[in-house]
Structure 1
Amino acid sequence: MLKQKALVDVLGQVNTSGVDGSWLFNKEGLLLAYVGSEQKTVASNVSSALLASVWSALERRASDLKETILVLEDGVIGCTIVARSMLLAVKANKKADLGMIRPAPKIYPNPSDPGRFANEIDIQTNIFGLEVDKKTELFQYIVSIKADLTVKKEVVFTKKGKEELKGVCFENGKLFFIKPLEDGFVREDIVDVGDGKSMLPGIKRAIQFIEGPYGRGNNNPAIVIDASKVAFHKEQLVMDKIAEILLKNPTLGIQEFEREKCIPVIRGLDCYSTYSGRTRHLKIEGISHLDASTARFELKDGGNCTESAVLPDVRQRLIMTGMIAADISSKNEILSELGVNVCPEPLMAKGQLLPPNRLQFSTQNTEATSGKWRFSGFFRPAEPPKIWAIYAVGYPNNSFSIENFGKFVSMFMHGCQSKGIRLGEPAESKLIHVDDMENVLDIAGRSNCSFVFVISDDSISHLHQKYKMIERKYEMIVQDMRMSLANNVVIQGKRLTLENVINKTNLKLGGTNYLVMDTKLNDVLVIGVGLSLPTGTSKFVSFGKEILSPLVVGYASNGKAPQEFTGDFVLSPVGQVTISSIEEIMTQCLELYNKCRQKLPKRVLVYRSGSSEGAHGAIIAHEIPLARVAIGRFSSAIKLIYVVVSKDHTYRFFKNNLDNIDTASSSSSSTSSGASRTSSRKADQMNIPPGVLLDSVVTHPACKQFFLNSHTTLQGTAKTPLYTILADDCDAKLCTLEEITYNLCHCHQIVGLTTSLPTPLYVANEYAKRGRNLFTERCMQPVLIGAESEKSTLEKVTDELSYKKKRGLLDRRINA
């Protein structure tokens, strides 16, 4: 604990250049230290109590409050949270610059020159430029109804308000149109999704600063608009609502199981009933009688914010229609008064197309043309297990016969052998009843079986997590496959499905399917860090009646070999924007690298997901220094590059002149949601191809960042990841980072397609999911009871569930 004198000495360093007072106090207003001229009218302890009261009032409106600035008659007070319950306030006079009392802004690595690759491509965006004609003080007004898109929150309108309402605003700039046909949308834009719900069109809006059409060194405001859809309950009679849920006429009577089916859908909905000219607002709690034939439902959030997949040409039309319907234009009276002009046409940008990569298999090299390739013999086949077994799990009447099971076993073994895995006969192969499977796996684990292949009936959903608990217990690899896929292999001869299964088997057993011909990864430790946020179903009673719902942090690295990514997970306290366990993760990965390669890396490249732009400052200030501390324990010469990857943005990128794309050769036909015509176009033909790169014009002027579309889009419109470099000790060229990132998107090893995220981050996200599933399964067993802190309890559970003490699993990509 700091002594009083030490606190005063530290606070005294703040009082300079117009800053004449600083307080350190807790949220209850208890003053710990004050440095400055003692005020005659208000004592410092009274000031701290008043400031704590103001903070508490603001925090009730914004639960994630980090900082506030109070403008007074004689100066300015800045207040920020410095610990869980501690506040720091600094007072400055009127002449002091605001920067003297406000924490330093986020400091990004300086943007470097854009990459220069051979092929350029015209890219249409959803970015609309803004021009401000006059200086105007802008104030933010809340002029729309806001609500969360969750089951627990609802949107309730009065009858008069509904008649006058044009759209409904939600958080994060979402706007949905209640009467879309009146706003220029077409009938096909409203999709019936069952249960009396319809997907209504809308838009998502975000104000961003971009470099603009003149590239580096420029700073231009813009509005980014994307199309969106969400399920709303229809306005209809109660009986019609029930009829759509049950797909029958409810006036003929409903049975108990049908009643149970209806209740979860309609419970909590608002409705209006009219009797004798009087309208009453009611809330449905369940079905208790059937004579509410005049009750009408009001609109409510569907609770499932799932966007329908739309092709790029349809999305472009929805964006332009939504922009007009929301009156986002220079003709808008409010914008006109403020002197803000909105460009009517979206920005056109020049993208670059990265060259294809070459992949090395056992006997030949293959070019990944358009992000696709065919597999050959494995580069390094896995060592075959000495004892292995294969089971089909289901019910007596399932569709997988003994004959089909025998054929699949033969095809699987032959396929493994043809790829180079010298797989012998299984120690046991038979059909197992679902109730006996756990016992069978226990026996296999105790019999030193090292690999079990399981074919599970599609209706079995509860066993997969149990498989993984048993896998960890005995360090016995368990690979699960759906029975319908196995039937497709045997009956329909789907060889590609079997090939993908065998590719996964080789990875799980420790093999390498292919190598990307890239030397840039030599002496580079690449780490992916992914997150799994808690849900309402993941809970763990640790002590007393307290319930823990931890953040699961998955990580993966190439410590074992340059292109082999293995990992683990840790459980961390939830509610933090930074990863407190990053120091432990860096240490584990560096130790693995040093152990397997007998040397230390020259550079550490981290890809981190699960962060918004608003958290960048905290990551730079708190998370990255922890990573540097871990690196410094090994060598001060190791350089760090820290990249945050996000798909949680509003940007969309399209091919130019979509209407002129020749897709006459397409053999499939599909009706795109919201389209006014039937389209025979495929998503992969209409979307931007793999390898499209944008690192200027649309990027933030203060950041070193780029957009890279590395994958083939098979449905809807491409969502291109955004890469923002938060730390770069190497001052690396942007083109080098872009090439490395694109190459890493080829390392998935299971299917012959590039992934949308670099493989280390993709694998890390899978480890985070695995950790969440194991934690959920752990909750169903007797729990630890103790008086430990949350952190120490999570550390114990991490040791219980993670793989760091299971060397037979830690060095393999078991979550392939």
Structure 2
Amino acid sequence: MSTIGSAARSVSGPQSGTSGSEPRERTIYERESERLLKQRNVEVGRAVMAEKPGSGHEGDVEVQTNVYALNMGPLNIFRYDVCIVGERSGERAGVLFTKKYKDDAIAVNRRDCCRDVILSFMRVHSDLAAHARCLYNDLQSIMYTMLPLAAEPNDPNKPIDLEFEYPIDQMPNPQIFTDLHVVKIRIYFKPWRDDRGNSLVKLEDLSTLRPDIALGNRDLLQFLDIATSQEIFFHKTDGQYEHVHFSTGLSYAYYPEQFGFTGEDALTFEENNTYLALGCSKSTHLIEGSTRGRGSNCAAGLLVQPKKTPFHANCSLLDKVKALVGNDFGMERGRMVQSLNNGVKGLFVQTNHNADNIQRFPIKGLERKGANEVKIEVDGGSSTIEQYFLSKYNRQLLFPNLPLVAMNSRFANEKRVNYYPIEVLDIIDNQRVTTQQQTSSMVQQSIKKCAVTPFILKRQVHNTARSIHLWDSEYLEKAGVRLTTEPITLRAHQLNNPEVKAGDGAPQRPSVGHAAAWRINSVLVPQSLFVDGSYSWMVACFQSGGGGRGALREADLRNFLNMLEQQGKNRGIRLPSLPGDHLKMVDFRGKEDILTVFQQASQKGVAFMLCIHGDNDDLAHHFIKKCERDCQVISQCVKAGTVRNVVNKQQRLTVDNILNKTNVKLGGINYTLPRSRIATSTDMLIIGISTNHPGGGIGERSLDDAEIGRSETLSVVSEESTITGPPSVVGYAANVGPTKLPFDFVGDFMYQRARREEKVNIIESIIGKCVNYFNEVRGDKPRRVVLYRNGCSEGQFKMILKYEVPLIKCALEATGCVNATLTLIVSNKLQNMRFFNKNIQGNAKPPDQNIQPGTVIDTAVVHPTNCEFFLNSHRTLQGTARTPKYTVLYDDNKFDLTELEDMSYHLCFGHQIISSIVSLPAPVYIANEYAKRGRNLYNQYEAPANMETFGMLNESLCLEYAGWIAPHRVNA
């Protein structure tokens, strides 16, 4: 049976700057990308950010942030690459403690071990530690010192390599090493050196910052990230560490009440024995600060954001099982196993029946049979697991009929599965609840608890900053780093709302304020699908239970349809009369019932089907969308509860929103922005791209290199590449809709290898498709292209500029747009910087505590050289606004900052379905919906045995291959 350290490879000697002998993931991907571009005869691009087009604008809106200004004087430091290796007894593989691990239980254990080793080094070699003045360690592979640990005799600024060896009895906590069968520790310190052999890192000069990412030096930010984490790693209160930590940027307090938090801030979930932990997400950023003027406006700021994350309680697995299925274990066995797998699969546990040989492993799953049924071979005979525990460990199982826990093991180089009774296992502490392990009730409660108003968030930000000792850190004091006691405040400016024109007369300008909405009495361009009578429509109501008690009555449905047709006529959306046999009340028992209705509709020439289904029937909804694509019948789903409310409460506004969707789905458009530059620039192609990854959320399990080849996992893939598991879905949308108007966005999706944010393998195809659609609809090729990419991190900017931009240019040339100019903007709503009104009344409603739609921040906390701004476009109804950040990576069009901000804001008005502003530009927002549609279609898809490549998958599911419905925005 393997231990918690079974994944570690045998290591002998230090690996500088890496966690193993193989190239890093990013290095492999860069090599593959360069090879791809070379095959296409395309030059690799320069990793140079777009030039910042002038200074930002201060306005009259006083805004507070969650960023603390960092002040520091000139500082010279030395960097070391650290390698800590644990040698095991016998022929066991060694443990590389400084490797990065994804599983929480292993990651926390390895970081604790690294901390013990560093503390032992500082105690045993106190002379070296004292000479260095102060050590700043990330508890992995990086360490900074004020002076060298030891240097060449004739050069005090030239540190030397160091290697030390310790028995585990010199560790502060030897037991954590004994549990891993480690008998000896080796630690290596290898000084970092630049190309000229210098080891001294100078952090005092920020004025030399350049937009060339390839020449960027991250030592300042990296040092500050590590320096502000030392109290998190090493501070104790009453002999106990205060935090559990997963990196320099993420930690959770063991006792948050010490820092001003209360029970109102936390939450316990008794349904699965978990709790909401309070922590800190922090990061250091280069910012403009208060100094204005390009070239001299660089400062540093520390972003502090309270973090609330569900954790598994530190308890026995039996207690967890009781919480999940009940104390009496009376649940049907199949349902019980499914429920337990949902709640504990992947969780790390340890045995409690043999203190001399504690085993630690992740739960592979639950076996339906119990310990009183499953037999194993023992000393040449046969015994049930229940009998084995009694005879071997004198342990009488109390619940031998409970399902067994399965774990993977390896014996004599062969894989096998071992089984353990639930009651002999305990849950290892400090494990976050993965997305798959969370219940719907738990998610809803967590969202509500995390959605705090700005008034509460201000208090929580201060308490979080206190908890990590920003103002009483000896480590920061020795480095001369000081933080302001209050977060940065600044003056934002308010954009004017554009005019909106529907089909009922003069344009209207939404008022500036939290509502920022408009009225659509008549649509701008009605759908034309039913004009010549070639197509008809149908209504199908899918209800389970034979239409019994609580079911939607046919009379109510007919009343709803009468309202729909009448309001549609008033708004210019003329739906033809519904044929008598085109209203179907379906006794819904399974997917076949839905498929049958769609097949019949397709045979009758039905182009549009309005589908009514249960309020919580997501599976029916997703299968309807699969039938829509396969049968080429555009569908629109409405919940039965919505129909009841419309009829019983006369909710005409709800009917308007339904009709807005219907009109867009069938090729119409509801409104435009007549005076926006977007509307007048008929030669501008605007594209949005967004990605949906499989199984998103926290707690992703890492792939075992032994099971999946590393080069295969990380290579750049094409449509001919083999599918190896659930893919990521890349959604895209462009203003190429059938009305030919610049605010008419239609899109599609494509599949690619999972977990890749880079789009090197498919970006050329997406751009080519969008240009061709533009040419077909508009009758001309675009002269300017604006591309919005959603959700990319700053670490991916280099890859995008080097590999994606050249392929985009290549695609434009291949489609005849040789002289077309390109602007590439990354929008990111998942960033942690928060903005709220400086002066807040605690009893005010959330919209009044938050900044208004149209608020722009482009000073003080933006990057000093990169072109970026924060734009809050939406109305915040609960919690604190998540204001997206926009970063301009590439700009041939030479837009000035005002043009970029106005264009992005105006696009947030272009969603078409609701008459208010959305949080992201319409092309990105709609692209994200297409990505979700691609995910749901994949989840409903039963792939044939010969389904092998991404090209085959795209042909089977993408809308491009769905016949006449492809040019319509079917996912509106």
Kindly indicate whether the alpha-carbon contact (under 8 Å) linking 1:578 and 1:618 is maintained by their aligned counterparts in 2: no
Match of 2:572 among 412, 420, 423: 420
Aligned position for 1:165:
241
Q: CA deviation at 1:766?
A: 1.3
Q: CA deviation at 1:774?
A: 2.3
Kindly indicate whether the alpha-carbon contact (under 8 Å) linking 1:384 and 1:423 is maintained by their aligned counterparts in 2: no
In the aligned structure 2, how far is the partner of 1:513 from the partner of 1:769?
23
What are structure 2's unaligned runs of at least 5 residues? 1-13, 37-43, 85-96, 113-172, 177-235, 372-396, 400-421, 436-445, 701-712
Say whether 1:299 aligns with 2:377.
no
Say whether 1:220 aligns with 2:296.
no
* AA matched with 1:383: S
Q: CA deviation at 1:547?
A: 2.4
Say whether 1:711 aligns with 2:856.
no
Aligned position for 1:323:
465
Kindly indicate whether the alpha-carbon contact (under 8 Å) linking 2:594 and 2:624 is maintained by their aligned counterparts in 1: no
Say whether 1:66 aligns with 2:27.
yes
Kindly indicate whether the alpha-carbon contact (under 8 Å) linking 2:33 and 2:760 is maintained by their aligned counterparts in 1: no
SS in structure 2 at match of 1:82: helix
In the aligned structure 2, how far is the partner of 1:367 from the partner of 1:240?
59
Residues 1:284 and 1:205: Cα distance change in structure 2 (over 3 Å): closer
Aligned position for 2:405:
none
The superposition leaves residues 582-618 of structure 1 with CA deviations (integer Å, 9 ceiling, x where unpaired) of 2222222222222222223331111011311011111
Say whether 1:794 aligns with 2:950.
yes
In the aligned structure 1, how far is the partner of 2:821 from the partner of 2:566?
47
Match of 2:784 among 582, 599, 603: 603
Kindly indicate whether the alpha-carbon contact (under 8 Å) linking 1:270 and 1:300 is maintained by their aligned counterparts in 2: no
Say whether 1:338 aligns with 2:484.
no
The superposition leaves residues 488-524 of structure 1 with CA deviations (integer Å, 9 ceiling, x where unpaired) of 2222333222221111011101111111233411132
Aligned position for 1:121:
61
Residues 1:545 and 1:122: Cα distance change in structure 2 (over 3 Å): closer
Q: CA deviation at 1:485?
A: 1.8
Match of 1:532 among 666, 689, 692: 692
* AA matched with 2:831: H
SS in structure 2 at match of 1:515: coil
Say whether 1:782 aligns with 2:944.
yes
Match of 2:817 among 631, 635, 642: 635
Aligned position for 1:313:
455
Match of 1:265 among 343, 351, 364: 343
Say whether 1:111 aligns with 2:52.
yes
* AA matched with 1:449: V
In the aligned structure 1, how far is the partner of 2:765 from the partner of 2:658?
34
Q: CA deviation at 1:115?
A: 5.1
Kindly indicate whether the alpha-carbon contact (under 8 Å) linking 2:19 and 2:99 is maintained by their aligned counterparts in 1: no
Residues 1:56 and 1:215: Cα distance change in structure 2 (over 3 Å): closer
Residues 1:429 and 1:149: Cα distance change in structure 2 (over 3 Å): farther
Aligned position for 2:265:
189
Aligned position for 2:710:
none
In the aligned structure 2, how far is the partner of 1:290 from the partner of 1:586?
63
SS in structure 2 at match of 1:66: helix
* AA matched with 1:624: V
* AA matched with 2:284: I
In the aligned structure 2, how far is the partner of 1:513 from the partner of 1:783?
44
In the aligned structure 2, how far is the partner of 1:259 from the partner of 1:226?
39
SS in structure 2 at match of 1:637: coil
Match of 1:490 among 643, 647, 672: 647
Aligned position for 1:82:
31
Aligned position for 2:219:
none
Give the aligned length: 704
SS in structure 2 at match of 1:529: strand
Residues 1:171 and 1:490: Cα distance change in structure 2 (over 3 Å): farther
Kindly indicate whether the alpha-carbon contact (under 8 Å) linking 1:602 and 1:637 is maintained by their aligned counterparts in 2: yes
Match of 1:570 among 750, 765, 780: 750
* AA matched with 1:552: V
What are structure 1's unaligned runs of at least 5 residues? 1-52, 68-79, 88-102, 664-680, 787-792
Residues 1:259 and 1:444: Cα distance change in structure 2 (over 3 Å): closer
In the aligned structure 2, how far is the partner of 1:61 from the partner of 1:165?
34
The superposition leaves residues 701-749 of structure 1 with CA deviations (integer Å, 9 ceiling, x where unpaired) of 1201111010111222111111111111122111011101100000111
Q: CA deviation at 1:203?
A: 1.1
* AA matched with 1:359: V
Q: CA deviation at 1:623?
A: 0.6
In the aligned structure 2, how far is the partner of 1:543 from the partner of 1:606?
26
* AA matched with 2:964: G
Say whether 1:201 aligns with 2:304.
no
Match of 1:131 among 50, 71, 74: 71
SS in structure 2 at match of 1:413: helix
Residues 1:254 and 1:656: Cα distance change in structure 2 (over 3 Å): same
Q: CA deviation at 1:253?
A: 5.9
* AA matched with 2:60: E
The superposition leaves residues 651-677 of structure 1 with CA deviations (integer Å, 9 ceiling, x where unpaired) of 11111122x36x5xxxxxxxxxxxxxx
* AA matched with 1:376: N
Aligned position for 2:115:
none
The superposition leaves residues 383-428 of structure 1 with CA deviations (integer Å, 9 ceiling, x where unpaired) of 2533110011011135212222222222222222221111122231
Residues 1:140 and 1:327: Cα distance change in structure 2 (over 3 Å): farther
Kindly indicate whether the alpha-carbon contact (under 8 Å) linking 2:70 and 2:299 is maintained by their aligned counterparts in 1: yes
Aligned position for 1:580:
761
Q: CA deviation at 1:461?
A: 2.8
In the aligned structure 2, how far is the partner of 1:335 from the partner of 1:545?
51
More displaced stretch, 376-385 vs 742-751: 376-385
* AA matched with 2:587: H
Aligned position for 1:234:
313
* AA matched with 2:761: S
Say whether 1:380 aligns with 2:320.
no
* AA matched with 1:363: D
More displaced stretch, 620-629 vs 291-300: 291-300
Kindly indicate whether the alpha-carbon contact (under 8 Å) linking 1:154 and 1:300 is maintained by their aligned counterparts in 2: no
The superposition leaves residues 431-458 of structure 1 with CA deviations (integer Å, 9 ceiling, x where unpaired) of 1122322111111112111000000113
Aligned position for 1:552:
729
Residues 1:529 and 1:683: Cα distance change in structure 2 (over 3 Å): same
The superposition leaves residues 180-226 of structure 1 with CA deviations (integer Å, 9 ceiling, x where unpaired) of 12333111111123321111111101011001112342111111111
Q: CA deviation at 1:272?
A: 7.9
When the two chains are superposed, the root-mean-square deviation of aligned CA atoms in Å is 3.7
In the aligned structure 2, how far is the partner of 1:145 from the partner of 1:403?
68
Match of 2:668 among 498, 503, 511: 511
In the aligned structure 2, how far is the partner of 1:410 from the partner of 1:608?
42
Aligned position for 1:646:
828
SS in structure 2 at match of 1:514: coil
Aligned position for 1:614:
795
Say whether 1:429 aligns with 2:583.
yes
Aligned position for 2:969:
813
Kindly indicate whether the alpha-carbon contact (under 8 Å) linking 2:873 and 2:908 is maintained by their aligned counterparts in 1: yes
SS in structure 1 at match of 2:796: helix
Residues 1:352 and 1:807: Cα distance change in structure 2 (over 3 Å): farther
TM-score of the two chains, using structure 1 as the length reference: 0.78
Sequence identity percentage? 27
Q: CA deviation at 1:259?
A: 4.6
Match of 1:359 among 476, 481, 500: 500
* AA matched with 1:630: A
Residues 1:487 and 1:159: Cα distance change in structure 2 (over 3 Å): farther
Aligned position for 2:538:
389
In the aligned structure 1, how far is the partner of 2:693 from the partner of 2:354?
51
